[in-house]
Amino acid sequence: MADVILYLVDRSRFDRIMAMRVEEITSGMESSEMRGLRPKQDARFHRDFDVDLEGDILEAIDSFDDFDPKVRALDLTNNASSDLFLSLAKWCSSSQWRCWEARLFLYVEPSLSNTASKDLDFTSPLIWKEFSDKLSRTDRSSFSESVVLDWMSRREEMGETMEPSEDPMILPTMNSHRSLSESLFLFIQEYRKQDLHLLVGKEYLDSGEWNLGGSPISGINEVLNV
C-alpha cells in the first residue's frame, strides 16, 4: 500500500535555486555549501536528510546525457529534469507528512463536498484547498475526534467489532488515527499561516506527476519562465 507524501516548500528558496546555473548547484551540493539555503526544519515533523537529497540531486544531474552546465536549472528541457526539480523542491521543504493512502481517505474524505467517487486523487490541489478551508473552521481536538468517530462508525457498518477484548488491535489503531490526524491538522495549519507551497505525491509516482503549488513538477519550468 503506497504512502501519500506531503511537503511544505519555501517557494522563494525553490525559485532562487531553480534560477541558479546547474554547475553552481552541483558544486554547492558536492561541497555541502547549499545546506545554508535549506529552510529551518519544523521540529514537529520529519523531513529528508541533507545527505540523502544531495545524493538524489547529483544523481539526477548526472543522468543528463548532454547539456550545458552553465544553463539555469529552470531552463532544462531534458526528459529527466523532473527528477531534479522534485529533489530540489524537497530540498526547499521545512517538513514532511506521510501516511497510507487508505488511511488518508478516512481523514480527508468526510471534509469534501463531492465524494461520489472513492478514488480520490490526492495529488489534486483542489482537494487540498477544500480540505484546508474546512480545517480552518475547526480545531485540532475536534478534527481528530471526528476522524476517530467516523472510523468507528465505518467499522460498525461493516459489522466489525469495537471491543478491545475481541480485537487487540482496536486501541493501537485508534491511537494511531488520533495521532496521525492531529499531526495532519498541524501540518495543514502551518501551510495556511506560512508563505509555503504544498508539494504532494505518492510513493512510486513518476516525479513529473507530483504537484507543487497547483502545478505538476513536469511543467514547473514553464511556470517559472512565464
pLDDT tens-digit map of 4-36: 999 999 999 999 999 999 999 999 999 999 999
Has residue 174 got a pLDDT over 50?
yes
Give the model confidence (pLDDT) of 77-88 as tens digits: 766 799 999 999
Between these two residues, 225 and 38, which has the higher pLDDT value?
Answer: 38
Q: How far apart are CA 203 and CA 166, in angstroms?
A: 34
Q: What angle do CA 79, 90, 176 make, to 5 degrees?
A: 125
Q: How far apart are CA 154 and CA 131, in angstroms?
A: 20
If one counts the domains in the chain, the total is: 1
CB 199 within 8 A of CB 90: yes
For 12, other C-beta atoms within 10 Å of its C-beta total: 12
Q: Kindly indicate the confidence band of residue 226, based on its pLDDT and cuts at 50, 70 and 90.
A: very low
Structural domain for 127, as ranges: 3-224
Q: Kindly indicate the confidence band of residue 117, based on its pLDDT and cuts at 50, 70 and 90.
A: very low
Is the pTM here over 0.75, yes or no?
yes
Largest CA distance in the chain: 66
Question: Which pLDDT belongs to residue 80?
Answer: 73
